[in-house]
Structure 1
Amino acid sequence: MGGPPQVAMNLVWALQQLGVDAEILTTNHDGATELDVPLTQRVNYQFREDGATVPVWFMPFKRPALKEFLFSPAATRWLWQNAQNYDVLDNHYLFCYAPTCAAAIARWHRVPYTVRTMGQLTPWALSQRLVKKQVYAALIERRNLDRAAAIHCTAPSEVEDVRNFGVDTPTLTLPLGVSPLIEIEDARSLIHEKYQISDATPIVLFLSRLHPKKRPELLLQSLHHLASQGLSFHAILAGDGDPAYVKKLHTIAQSLNLSDRITFPGLVLGKLKDCLLQGADLFVLPSFSENFGIAVAEALNARLPVVITPGIQIAPEIEAADAGLVVEETVESLALAIEQLLMKPYLREKLGKNGQHLAQSRYSWQAIAQQLIPAYRAIAARQPLPKEPCFQPISCPIFDKKTQIC
């Protein structure tokens, strides 16, 4: 289901490595299907190929699922019975039933809670299904935000979004993280062989959910512009999405005479995903809005130069680190940036090296968890948030109970 679940699982895993007893509550929703997992019991769920597991309570949800709302009476009952057993509830995402319900129940049981907005308060995100969100916010979500102990933002621009929404709750600004890189020496040859791409042809990678928010259509138009100039490239648009929208993208690619230059492999995970990140020549994500952009950080970590738009909230950090190209949201600007990287291998090498340094120094899950722990400790003790983040490793348990992420 994209980046947000990966964030929750990696964060809980990192907290556990530092001695925090943390668990996840979620549903068994998996898009059009349901996860084949035990329900209403604690499961050690493996989420990475390196064997990393996190404790998860999966609850059934009611179909039909309304987008990502995922109404779950079972989650309500479980939270009502168990919320008071935790020191902190960390509510992950907005406009979704489980975290919304968790905040209300936490207040009833006087359990402090935090909220991670995950980019849902950006102007673009709020404009989607505007009336429903306005009603939902007025009735429920604004109160949840106002009464939270803290709001976890991933960039200064996300703090601005919170304030512009009229919420004065204390904020904690910490980025999200990336998993450790497992290097694959022959990644490039594996990818060229798998997708039958000539060794001399550079690969442009789009790795994200296929959704209008991510603007793959803008990328296709830019690639058409480059193809008309005779540039050599092959683009891989990896990700899944609504079948009707994916079909539309195939039709657009065909109408632009890009069919022999484009591959749509669908959702990629595990080693294949790592191969794509390490075997491609550059990464492009022209999103309208991204609160952080996990896929961008993963590309940086894989030493892959990135081309992004200002709507990705870590764009200023990437620009300051000279780790990628941040361009305006036009066909011409995007095409020019891609052309620069296709034509200048030395520039790709420079940006890639800077990007990997940025990712490994700034976007480490362990470093982020280390900085979250003092905040959780203060919240559990009903004290103000620490003024400065703590960068010292903490390796012992700090709670009498647990931290719950919903």
Structure 2
Amino acid sequence: MKILNVIASMHPEHGGTSQGVRNAIPALATFGLENEVVCMDDPDAEFIKADDFVIHALGNSKGPWQYQEKLLPWLLNNIANYQRIIIHGLWLYHSYAVNKAIDQYKRTNKSVNTPAVYIMPHGMLDPYFQQASTRKLKALRNWLYWKLIENKVVNGAEGMFFTCEEELKLARIPFSPYRPKSEWNVGYGIPQPPAFHVTMWGQLVEKFPQISKDGYWLFLSRVNEKKGIDLLVQAYLNLKKKGNLKIPQLVVAGPGLETTFGQHVQHVAASEKDIIFTGMLEGDMKWGAIYGAQAFVLPSHQENFGIAVVEALACTKPVLISNQVNIWREIEALDGGIVESDTLEGATIMLEKWAVLSDGHKQRMAEQALAVYHNYFTIEQAAKRMAQALKSLKYA
């Protein structure tokens, strides 16, 4: 079976959606599913050349809708080559273009089978995006867009793929009419991380020699208000001022330092030498940062899955997260970390809880972190569930 994955961008800086596609494709191949990608990226970009599966990069998109004039003609010319189409993400031109292409193809090829379309929203139907006080105009825009376009895309597809049960349930809340033909909790997973090697750590401390070899709290995500990094920095400063606990360094790794919000966070943290901003880390330096941490920290206001969270679990690192990270139930159930609310108080409590744990308890939690990964989030488990869903329908 040949599958086309349609995604706005495969750029690594655009978050977990593109990484999720990269993780899934090799694993799906073991189930006889051949995957290709079409995206709106520069075909000469280095990140396009780095992947070992077929990517049809049509050129950079334009505007906030990420319009790319080549996409619809490309789809119409190539739809017949695929048995399944997976739309990754919503609210942008690519989902509209697939829906329109399928409609046109059906009208002009009535005697030919049409590929079945599935949608993987990657958290983009989470109620947070309609309820957050900072998103009132965007929430209105999404509501209008849903009424005019997106409800036809969602309700016309063969089914919806979700990364966890929490995402599936939350997707039913914000919009109406919401009547997908089927819903699948296919899960999400990551490959086993590379084993630790001293060169990973060496590359990290060569560039950032101020990072302590005794461990630190690691925030590894976009420096963005949604991620709760401002709460984390303030909670860290508050604990430091108390002076009654042994507090490790806080390493903040991720893109976004150049934004207005990123500059603000750095200004707030400027007086504390133990808060270290590295910018985005990739490859061995990223893995070195994870392996060198005491614990991973993410007090996010909304996180559909959190690939970096699961990467930390797979590296035997306990995770200190908010209950707005949709996989928090699995983590809490096996004691693979500490879960609190996405508030300043919650961020402070989870840091304090970790700081007062005994070394033995920290070690047991690290072992349980790895158990969470093996029980819920291996790429093989997720690929098997998605393959079953894709094969459950005869050629549409």
- How far, CA to CA, are the matches of 1:228 and 1:193 in structure 2? 30
- How far, CA to CA, are the matches of 2:300 and 2:346 in structure 1? 14
- How far, CA to CA, are the matches of 2:169 and 2:80 in structure 1? 32
The residue aligned with 1:178 is: 190
The residue aligned with 1:235 is: 250
CA deviations over 1:253-307 (Å, ceiling 9, x no partner): 12xx22x111111111111111111111111101111111111111111111111
Deviation at 1:377, TM superposition (A): 1.5
Gaps spanning 5+ residues in structure 1: where? 29-33, 48-52, 383-406
SS at match of 2:365: helix
Is the Cα contact below 8 Å between 2:203 and 2:285 reproduced in 1?
Answer: no
Matches within 5 A, 1:61-100: 61-63=60-62, 65-66=63-64, 69-100=65-96
SS at match of 1:36: coil
SS at match of 2:86: strand
The residue aligned with 1:108 is: 104
The residue aligned with 1:250 is: 266
The residue aligned with 1:399 is: none
Deviation at 1:91, TM superposition (A): 0.5
The residue aligned with 2:379 is: 365
- How far, CA to CA, are the matches of 1:89 and 1:132 in structure 2? 27
- How far, CA to CA, are the matches of 2:266 and 2:152 in structure 1? 43
Is the Cα contact below 8 Å between 1:91 and 1:116 reproduced in 2?
Answer: yes
The residue aligned with 2:179 is: 168
CA deviations over 1:169-201 (Å, ceiling 9, x no partner): 110002211122111243567645642347565
Give the structure-1-normalised TM-score: 0.83
Gaps spanning 5+ residues in structure 2: where? 1-13, 106-113
Deviation at 1:338, TM superposition (A): 1.5
Is the Cα contact below 8 Å between 1:290 and 1:313 reproduced in 2?
Answer: yes
SS at match of 1:322: coil
Are 1:377 and 2:377 matched, yes or no? no
Pairs aligned (count): 362
The residue aligned with 2:123 is: 119
The residue aligned with 2:54 is: 55
- How far, CA to CA, are the matches of 2:280 and 2:43 in structure 1? 16
Deviation at 1:333, TM superposition (A): 2.9
Instruction: Name the CA shift for 1:192/1:336 in 2 (closer, same or farther; >3 Å).
Output: farther
- How far, CA to CA, are the matches of 1:199 and 1:133 in structure 2? 45
Instruction: Name the CA shift for 1:44/1:335 in 2 (closer, same or farther; >3 Å).
Output: closer
The residue aligned with 1:309 is: 322
Deviation at 1:44, TM superposition (A): 7.7
- 2:50 pairs, out of 46, 50, 66, with 46
Q: Alignment RMSD, CA only?
A: 2.2
The residue aligned with 1:132 is: 141
Partner letter of residue 119 of structure 2?
V
Matches within 5 A, 1:135-150: 135-150=144-159
The residue aligned with 1:9 is: 22
Deviating more after overlay: 368-377 vs 84-93: 368-377
Is the Cα contact below 8 Å between 1:84 and 1:106 reproduced in 2?
Answer: no
Is the Cα contact below 8 Å between 1:202 and 1:232 reproduced in 2?
Answer: no
- How far, CA to CA, are the matches of 2:339 and 2:365 in structure 1? 12
Deviation at 1:370, TM superposition (A): 1.6
